[in-house]
Structure 1
Amino acid sequence: MLRALALLPLLLPLAATAGSPFLPSRAQFDALFPERIAFYTYEGFVEAVRQTPGFADADSDTERRQEMAAFLGQIAHESDQLRAQREYRRENWGNYCRDDARLSCAPGQQYYGRGPIQLSWNYQYKAAGDFLGIDLWADPDRVARDSTVAWRTALWYWMTQPGESRAPAHAALRGGQGFAATTRAINGPLECDKPGDAEALRKNKRRIDFYKHASQMFGVPLLHPLGC
């Protein structure tokens, strides 16, 4: 009986009503990311979700949970289980400036991966900042200093950016294209449609494993296809 009671917090997400987002409980969040660094606060995550209309707020409670599971599964891979505040490979930090007639790079700034989804490139920082109403082009490191901003950039990408796919991850899920379509929107050219590429297959499996774990915790069925 005591053992069952000890597990109870994992089964109690924050209450959601129709039209409001599903939010995992703090205990669930901690269980999904047991080694996360202090920067990725639960409070920052919750605030960012509440500032993102449309995310994980479908009419069906199951669909709300499924989108949250897919998002957190992808985030777990992208951020090394919320342990990567900034891109690990410092040798690549200066490689993300597309300086052309449309957009330059701010003096002294670098646009390497930061945050839960590892936001990269000057044009992505500019677009995310414009959407959020803050200047991330001039101050890209704010994504690695402000937890809520970091989470909001990840949700901005999830909701609005198709990458090399036909639709952003959010729209692809709502359109019934499965978890595979979210991977395609995030990193399609490097990981999808490569059956003979061992590294691409490894990364795809890692995303799927994280997604399965979150889906099991939230008590919802998987959205197939899983692999892209």
Structure 2
Amino acid sequence: MAVNFNMGFAISLIFVVVVAGVSVVTAESPKEVIVKTVKGQKVCDQGWECKGLSKYCCNDTISDFFQTYQFEDLFAKRNTPVAHAVGFWDYKSFITAAALFQPLGFGTTGGKSMQMKEVAAFLGHVGAKTSCGYGVATGGPLAWGLCYNKEMSPSQDYCDDFYKYDYPCAPGAQYYGRGAIPIYWNYNYGAVGEGLKEDLLNHPEYIEQNATLAFQAAMWRWMTPVKKGQPSAHDAFVGNWKPTKNDTLAKRVPDLEPL
């Protein structure tokens, strides 16, 4: 099976030229870019948005090409009266969440074109997973992304006792779908919580209470393989994953074309 990525959202993104240097501050870009060479490799720090001397921080950051008005245009229906998470999702939460992963390559891998495509693909998944639009909805179904932040009528508590030793269900906790790319089941809340250093196993409700954390959970899943031996969505998308012979024979190959 091919690894597909939903690119259904059309996003108009702006190319921004960033001048390289040891410390660069311009009127157009007030960020200070710190550049160093560590073990022969160029690494950079761009402050709060891409911090920690990473090779990825030498590229444009997400806010250079994806800004508030574009987020508002993309998810224009999210705060309409019929939406179910009015006032929850916003650009600040998205860009704050992304700051945790940009030093790791999220939206900062490759050239500008690849960076923009990855952000578009990620938001395409987010929009599709949280849309309350239908085929006849104004603007089409993809215009209604981020309508939800949780499953509205869960049919169960999603507690799997098979994982009771690694991820035991907390008394009274319900592990129904929550987030920008919804999390289900106790073992997934446990794994994501470990990755983000948040106690989501005992407090899964944190995801529906904090938009930044909800975006971080989705980004963590995007950057992290689901199973050993599988690529993360990020690695498959940016070309870090090279299929083995067995992958190719099983028709597991990257497919970055729109669905």
Scaled by the length of structure 2, what TM-score is found?
Answer: 0.60
Corresponding letter in the other structure for 1:225: E
Aligned partner of 2:67: which letter?
S
Residue 114 (structure 1) shift: 0.5
Name the stretch that deviates more: 22-31 or 11-20: 11-20
Query: Contact 1:126 / 1:136 at 8 angstroms: preserved in 2?
Result: yes
**Matching residue within 25, 30, 33 for 2:72:** 30
Rounded to whole Å, the distance in 2 between the matches of 1:146 and 1:14 is 31
Cα distance in 1 between the residues matched to 2:171 and 2:187: 15
Q: Residue 92 of structure 2 corresponds to which residue in structure 1?
A: 43
Change (3 A) 1:12 1:139: same
Q: Structure 1 residue 164: deviation in Å?
A: 9.8
List runs of 5+ in structure 2 lacking aligned partners: 1-10, 19-57, 79-85, 132-144, 242-251
Q: Structure 1, residues 88-134: CA drift from partner, whole Å, max 9, x if none?
A: 33324x1x111233321001001111010011111111111111111
Tell me if the contact between 2:75 and 2:146 (Cα under 8 Å) persists in the aligned partners: yes
Query: Partner residue of 1:226?
Result: 258
Equivalent in the alignment of 1:134: 198
| Distance 1:114-1:15 versus aligned 2 partners, 3 A rule | farther
1:11 Cα deviation from its structure 2 partner: 5.7
Q: 1:101 aligns with which of 145, 165, 168?
A: 165
Q: Is the 8 A contact 1:13 1:28 kept in 2?
A: no
User: What is aligned with 1:58?
Assistant: 109
Displacement of 1:165: 8.6
Aligned residue type for 1:29: F
Q: Distance in 2 between matches of 1:170 and 1:121?
A: 23
Question: How many pairs align?
Answer: 172
Q: Which has the larger radius of gyration?
A: 2
Query: Superposition pairs for residues 203-218 of structure 1, below 5 Å?
Result: none
- Greater CA drift, 72-81 or 20-29: 20-29
Which of the pair is proportionally richer in strand?
A: 2
Confirm or deny: 8 A CA contact 1:21 1:55 kept in the other structure: no
1:79-158 matched pairs, under 5 angstroms:
79-80=130-131, 81-92=145-156, 94=157, 96-99=158-161, 100-158=164-222
Q: Deviation of residue 14 (structure 1)?
A: 9.1
Whichever residue aligns with residue 118 of structure 1, its letter is P
What one-letter code is carried by the residue in structure 1 that aligns with 2:70? Q
Q: Out of 63-72 and 31-40, give the one that drifted further.
A: 31-40
2:124 counterpart of 1:73: yes
Aligned partner (choices 53, 58, 61) of residue 21 of structure 1: 61
Report the secondary structure of 2:155's partner residue. helix
| Structure-to-structure mapping, 1:135-214, within 5 angstroms | 135-162=199-226, 166-175=230-239
Using structure 1 for the length normalisation, give the TM-score. 0.68
Q: CA RMSD in A?
A: 2.6
Q: How far off is 1:41 after superposition?
A: 1.5
Amino acid at match of 2:62: F
Shifted more, 107-116 versus 121-130: the winner is 121-130
CA contact (8 A) 1:22 1:61 kept: no
Unaligned runs of 5+ in 1: 1-9, 178-192, 194-222
Q: Percent identity?
A: 33
Matching residue's letter, 2:170: A
Tell me how far apart the structure 2 counterparts of residues 164 and 225 of structure 1 sit (CA, whole Å).
Answer: 25
Q: Secondary structure at the match of 1:65?
A: helix
